[in-house]
């Protein structure tokens, strides 16, 4: 939020960081990591401790934190515990404790003019039981359609990711399926696809749902060397040609595309959702 | 955080909820949803708006929020914007704005005795470029080993999920691979596996890395009916027998197991990580 002054990078300080939850710990871990990433000058020794839902469980965590404190790791605790008795015990830990829910719940109570439910809940997106089957189906669809393996039911795909081999189609495909329940196919562009100007025959009818991926020739070559060392397939020359052809193909067919070499799977997914207007 | 008094469920009030980010919006969405889930008496119309990184972009969002306010949806805005100029514009919106990062960053600055980096960052777990290849490999491993398709390199699996068909092995497998970069195979238990008391031959050598899934006969029967309506495979009798045999098998072989009918994919994953001590 504040200054851009030189951070104390020179001496990397080690600190313990705890993500403590009475549920899965995923919210605590996600937001805690997001916050810690703003302090690159530190080496954080991280511990996620989920399902801390009794005072006894909390007392165990406090002991572990106290050990770290005694070892000079000056712990920071991120907690998302809603159970009052658990939170009370945790607050006795010799550490800076950051309550990721409590303050915001109070803000929300004021905004909504009511009190928060005391029920401990499964509140993650995947936790919604009505969406469970949609996600299961989406993951199965993604597996069936990975790397152009099947053309069955391609007409119902929400997204078809196209790219040369090893550009990173699969992780983004799977993330979109699992996180958003979308039906995502992915299709490899091979040398066979390039004599023509159009998209591969099987995906051409669904051009408006296609999204392309590109990367840098160097990165592609590195990834391909892992699979087939010293092959023509992995050579920098071949990678350069394939990527140039793929980008030409995307442009000619107005297929939006992204460079995966500088983007995380989440960023790619967020851009795809936005570009193809797939946000709920 | 507070009372368990009757919430105003009777009249479901519609409110707009915005998750606004200068990055992917995933943190805002995850934590915002977690917070909103504590207020079951409301119907929230949700909008995730990622990549808001200019004052002009923020002004567009403010206009959209103002429209909702004019329509009586009394918006609530969850923001994770770090860019000062963007945050300033957003704060002019006619809405309750909850800053999910700012206050905690200040708390952290105090605890760490330094100022937060101004850099906008990709801070999600999947965003770490050094982990990208591990995750890509993990997803590919999960696809290759889905539903017992391959016995190749089963010896390097971190987890082998075993269960009768349609108990929900695949989504949890994929979540563990994608989110944690673990090598996860899954293996179906079929009638062929039950004349004996031991685990299936292929996975038996790795019993300590096996994790079982069970569910309720009714739910399994419903899921199977979707695949093969009115088959013996989907009958309640067959599902009851298979689940009983599977649970017996888990117990006899000391394979820990969970009932997937009451757990989300994240909860299953968190329990598996903890039980098999796979947390980093």
DSSP symbols for A248-272: HHHHHTT--EEEGGG--HHHHHHHH
| A98/B104 touch (CB, cutoff 8 Å), yes or no | yes
- Indicate if A142 and A94 belong to the same structural domain: no
- Indicate if B225 and B86 belong to the same structural domain: no
- Indicate if A103 and A153 belong to the same structural domain: no
| Cβ atoms A144, A152 nearer than 8 A | yes
Give a yes or no: residue B59 inside a domain. Answer: yes
- Output the CA torsion sign for A200, A205, A207, A210: negative
What is the mean pLDDT of the segment spanning B241-261?
Answer: 94
Residue ending a domain, among A112, A135, A159, is A112
CATH label of the domain that carries residue B203: 3.40.50
Q: What is the pLDDT of residue B196?
A: 73
Q: Is the confidence at residue B13, as pLDDT, over 80?
A: yes
Tell me the shortest Cα–Cα distance from B39 to chain A, in angstroms. Answer: 6
User: Does B71 lie at the interface with A, CB-CB under 8 angstroms?
Assistant: no
* Cα angle: A258, vertex A259, A261; to 5 degrees: 145
Q: What is the pLDDT of residue A195?
A: 67
- Indicate if B171 and B265 belong to the same structural domain: yes
| Cβ atoms A227, A166 nearer than 8 A | yes
Q: Which of A112, A182, A273, A277 to mutate to test the interface with B (most CBs of B within 10 A)?
A: A112
String of DSSP letters for A198-245: SPPTTTGGGGGGEEEEE--HHHHHHHHHHHSTT-TTTSHHHHHHHHHH
| B264/A132 touch (CB, cutoff 8 Å), yes or no | yes
* Nearest neighbour of A265 by CB, restricted to B117, B126, B280: B126
| A42/B112 touch (CB, cutoff 8 Å), yes or no | yes
Which residues fall within 8 angstroms of residue B127, CB to CB, at 6 or more apart? A264, A265, A266, A267
- Indicate if B264 and B169 belong to the same structural domain: yes
Residue pLDDT, tens place only, B166-216: 998 999 999 999 989 999 999 999 877 766 778 998 999 999 999 999 999
A46 chain-B contacts, CB cut-off 8 A: 280
Mean pLDDT over the full length of chain B: 88
A96 chain-B contacts, CB cut-off 8 A: 107, 110-111
Q: Which of A104, A119, A226 to mutate to test the interface with B (most CBs of B within 10 A)?
A: A104
* Element housing A14 (H / E): strand A13-20
Q: Give the CA count within 13 Å in the CB-facing half-sphere of A280.
A: 14
User: Does A69 lie at the interface with B, CB-CB under 8 angstroms?
Assistant: no
Tell me the shortest Cα–Cα distance from A208 to chain B, in angstroms. Answer: 22
Q: Is the confidence at residue B233, as pLDDT, over 90?
A: yes
Of A7-11, B143-147, B226-230, the one with minimum mean pLDDT is: A7-11
What is the residue-level pLDDT of chain A in tens, covering all 280 positions?
Answer: 334 444 444 456 899 999 999 988 888 988 898 899 889 889 999 999 999 999 999 999 999 999 999 999 999 999 999 888 999 999 999 999 999 988 899 999 999 998 888 665 544 444 455 677 888 899 999 999 998 888 888 999 999 999 999 998 999 999 999 989 999 999 999 877 766 778 998 999 999 999 999 999 999 998 899 889 999 999 999 999 999 999 999 999 999 999 988 888 888 999 999 999 997 6
Residue ending a domain, among B88, B112, B136, is B112
Q: Is A72 annotated as a binding residue?
A: no
Q: Crossing angle for the helix pair B217-227 and B236-252, nearest 10 degrees?
A: 120
Strand partners, A269: none
Rounded distance, CA A176 to CA A272, Å? 9
* Residues 10-49, chain A, touching B (beta carbon < 8 A): 15, 23-27, 29-31, 33-42, 46-48
| Cβ atoms A126, B263 nearer than 8 A | no
CB atoms within 10 A of CB A55: 15
Give a yes or no: residue B121 inside a domain. Answer: no
- Indicate if B149 and B195 belong to the same structural domain: yes
* Nearest neighbour of B5 by CB, restricted to A115, A267, A271: A115
| B116/A178 touch (CB, cutoff 8 Å), yes or no | no
ipTM over 0.90: no
User: Does A144 lie at the interface with B, CB-CB under 8 angstroms?
Assistant: no
Q: In what order do the strands lie in the sheet with A13-20?
A: A42-49, A13-20, A76-79, A96-99
Give a yes or no: residue B6 inside a domain. Answer: no
A106 chain-B contacts, CB cut-off 8 A: 1
The count of domains in chain A is: 2
Which residues fall within 8 angstroms of residue A268, CB to CB, at 6 or more apart? A168, A172, A175, A213, A258, A260
Strand partners, B15: B44
- Indicate if A134 and A108 belong to the same structural domain: no
Highest mean pLDDT (candidates B61-70, B183-192, B215-224): B61-70
Residue B144 sits in which domain range?
A: 126-275
Q: Crossing angle for the helix pair A169-180 and A129-144, nearest 10 degrees?
A: 160
Which residues fall within 8 angstroms of residue B11, CB to CB, at 6 or more apart? none
Q: Output phi, psi for A113, to 5 deg.
A: 65, 35
Helices (H) and strands (E) in chain A, counts: 9, 8
Q: Which H, E and C letters describe B178-224, residue by residue?
A: HHHCCCEEEEEECHHHCCCCCCCCCCHHHHHHEEEEECCHHHHHHHH
Q: Output phi, psi for B67, to 5 deg.
A: -60, -45
Residue pLDDT, tens place only, A48-63: 999 999 999 999 999 9
User: Does A189 lie at the interface with B, CB-CB under 8 angstroms?
Assistant: no
Q: Which of A191, A73, A34, A222 is nearest to B117 (CA)?
A: A34
Residue A39 DSSP one-character state: -
Q: What is the pLDDT of residue A117?
A: 81
- Indicate if A142 and A269 belong to the same structural domain: yes
User: Does B170 lie at the interface with A, CB-CB under 8 angstroms?
Assistant: yes
Residue ending a domain, among A66, A84, A112, is A112
Give a yes or no: residue A3 inside a domain. Answer: no
Phi/psi-derived region of residue B122, left when phi > 0, alpha when psi is between -120 and 50, beta in every other case: beta
Residue pLDDT, tens place only, B84-138: 899 999 999 999 999 998 889 999 999 999 888 866 554 444 445 567 788 889 9
User: Does B277 lie at the interface with A, CB-CB under 8 angstroms?
Assistant: no
* Residues 114-133, chain B, touching A (beta carbon < 8 A): 114-119, 121-129, 132-133
């Amino acid at each position: 939020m504040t200054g851009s002054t030189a951070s104390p990078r020179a001496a990397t300080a080690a600190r313990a960081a705890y993500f403590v939850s009475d549920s899965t710990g995923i919210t605590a871990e996600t937001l805690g990591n997001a916050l810690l990433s703003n302090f690159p000058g530190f080496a954080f020794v991280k511990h996620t401790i989920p399902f801390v839902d009794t005072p006894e469980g909390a007392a165990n965590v406090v002991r572990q934190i106290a050990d770290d404190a005694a070892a000079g790791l000056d712990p920071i605790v991120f907690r998302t515990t809603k159970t009052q008795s658990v939170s009370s015990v945790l607050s006795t830990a010799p550490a800076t404790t950051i309550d990721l829910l409590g303050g915001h719940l109070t803000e929300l109570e004021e905004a909504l003019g009511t009190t928060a439910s005391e029920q401990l809940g499964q509140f993650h997106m995947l936790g919604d039981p009505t969406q469970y089957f949609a996600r299961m189906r989406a993951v199965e669809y993604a597996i069936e359609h990975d790397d152009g393996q099947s053309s069955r039911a391609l007409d119902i795909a929400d997204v078809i990711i196209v790219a040369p081999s090893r550009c990173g189609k699969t992780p983004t495909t799977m993330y979109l399926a699992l996180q958003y329940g979308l039906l995502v196919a992915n299709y490899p562009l091979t040398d066979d696809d390039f004599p023509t100007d159009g998209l591969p025959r099987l995906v051409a009818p669904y051009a408006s749902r296609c999204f392309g991926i590109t990367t840098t020739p160097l990165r592609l070559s590195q990834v391909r060397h892992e699979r087939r060392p010293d092959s023509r397939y992995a050579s920098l020359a071949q990678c350069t040609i394939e990527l140039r052809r793929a980008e030409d193909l995307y442009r000619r067919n107005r297929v939006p595309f992204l460079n995966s070499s500088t983007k995380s799977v989440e960023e790619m997914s967020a851009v795809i959702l936005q570009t193809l207007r797939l946000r709920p």
